[in-house]
Amino acid sequence: MRHFLLILIAPMLAVAGNPRTAVPSRSTVYVVSAGHPATVYHASASRRNSWRSETPKAAPATLPFRVQPDDALTRRGFEKFYNMDYDGAIELFREERNARPDDPFVVNHLLAAVLAKELNREGALDATLYMGNRFLQLKVPPVDPNVKREIGQLSQRALQLANQTLAKNPNDVDALFARSVARGLATVYSAVIEKRWMGALKQALGAYHDDVHILKLNPNYSDAKLVVGTYQYIVGSLSWWEKSIAFVAAIHGSKKKGLQLLRQAADGGGEESVDAGTILALFLAREKRYAEAIHIISDSYANFPHNFIFGLARADLLNASGQKDEAIAAYRKLVDLGREGFFPDARVERAAFSLGRALQNKKDYAAAAAAYEEAVNFPHANPAIAAPAALNAGQMYDLLGQRQSAVECYHRAMQIAPNSDSARAASQLLRKPKTVE
């Protein structure tokens, strides 16, 4: 449950060069062999803390990985969380925290759900923002003071609980991992919400070093391989100069080793197998190994069909792999399901915008214009998507010779986001229509 992976990846991929496709990640993705999780190796029984389950149990058929604590309440919370029902997940994780107030894993679950809800509300659960430098220019979103306070309190509590155990036994791998997760979630909040880059970097590197320490103590602790594998791949993709820019010159990397660790984490069957699958798919797409990436994301979407982001990721990968007709069909299906209310609180306008772009690339300008306008008209559409969609719809109408419709769209783009690049482009197109693609 680590939203911070996007943050770890963003600055480094921006230096190394953008991949052709974004794989939007909610913080999660699923085990490659869904429904058949492998054994997860944690601390030995003699070192286990009272807040960890003593006997691992098989995951239920509806949840393709094992959770900690492995009880019905936590499993139900994860199912809602991965289906993007954040309110439902928060309610269940609060109930679990009341029952287990001293379990840092439980506190991290609630923290992740509260943070995910806030990021989704602000439209920040979109990996396309993190594929370059665009996220650096995002305005600091207004956060409800009560939500901000709760995030801070939960973060401090998770760190406190983990550090209390580590004060007694610095080599307790479960406590190290709980601290790593808490640091990772704090990284997301600091970077995306507060824009405190140095604080975010400190927390991210702290999470990395915790996981490195875990793997020295227990090489089979699969969940710890997620962050280490991510760093291995990214750093292995950078030159020495680029590594110094990204503040990771002291970290050695190997793309091959990184992919290997991520695959082990994805196959490990633990809570972090979902993140590992997401990141593995992203890197495989970057290596143009689209078939493998599509397989991973398709399994994820099949396991959690209400997770709009996985559906969109699958469509994006189909598009990037050259399967244009299949991608268009996938985008259309997402838009249709979104119109029916199938995805709770999802930014379905993103699928409509992508559909418009795919149709535009096929020079089906009438259908593209309709898709762009649908993106604009979705209830509570994100202005960062709606304004470019209105601009693009106007250009489609200009290409079709429908100047009045084009002018209306340009005015709408300027109304949606008056000081944006889209508004400035629309202003120019009001003076000189677009006549060629």
Kindly report the pTM of this predicted structure: 0.82
Cβ atoms within 10 Å of 354's Cβ, excluding its own: 24
Average pLDDT, the chain: 82
Supply the pLDDT for residue 434. Answer: 79
The Cα–Cα gap between 130 and 250 comes to: 24
- Per-residue pLDDT tens over the stretch 379-433: 889 898 999 999 999 999 999 999 999 999 999 999 999 999 999 999 999 999 8
Structure tokens at 271: 């809570």
End-to-end alpha-carbon separation of the chain, Å? 43
Average pLDDT over residues 336-350: 92
The yes-or-no verdict on residue 53 having pLDDT over 50 is no
What share of the chain has pLDDT > 70, as a percent?
77
Residue 11: predicted pLDDT: 39
Choose among 149, 266, 162: nearest CA to 214.
Answer: 162
Q: Is the dihedral of CA 101, 104, 106, 112 positive or negative?
A: positive
- Does the structure show a pLDDT above 80 at 318? yes
Q: Is the pLDDT of residue 43 over 90?
A: no
3-state secondary structure of 110: helix
Tell me: pLDDT of 7 over 80: no
- Bond into 69 cis (ω within 30): yes
Q: What integer pLDDT is reported at residue 247 of this predicted model?
A: 57
CB distance 385 to 375 below 8 Å: yes
Asked if residue 295 has pLDDT above 90, the reply is yes
Whether 375 shows a pLDDT value over 90: the answer reads yes
Vertex 130: Cα angle to 294 and 379 (nearest 5)? 85
Task: Output the pLDDT for position 374.
Answer: 97
Does residue 188 register a pLDDT over 90? no
C-alpha–C-alpha distance, residues 86 and 120, integer Å: 9
8 by Cβ neighbours in 10 Å (0-12 / 13-18 / 19+) ranks as: buried
Give the pLDDT of residue 49: 52
Is the Cβ–Cβ distance between 262 and 286 less than 8 Å?
no
**pLDDT tens per residue across span 74-109:** 999 999 999 999 999 999 999 999 999 999 999 999
Q: 17 pLDDT band (50/70/90 cuts)?
A: very low
pLDDT interval class at 343 (50, 70, 90): very high
SS3 171: coil
Flag whether pLDDT at 249 surpasses 60: no
Tell me whether residue 144 is exposed, middle or buried, using C-beta atoms within 10 angstroms of its C-beta: 0 to 12, 13 to 18, 19 or more. Answer: exposed
- pLDDT grade for 242, boundaries at 50, 70 and 90: low
pLDDT of residue 22: 35
Instruction: Show the domains of the chain with their CATH numbers.
Output: 322-437 (1.25.40.10)
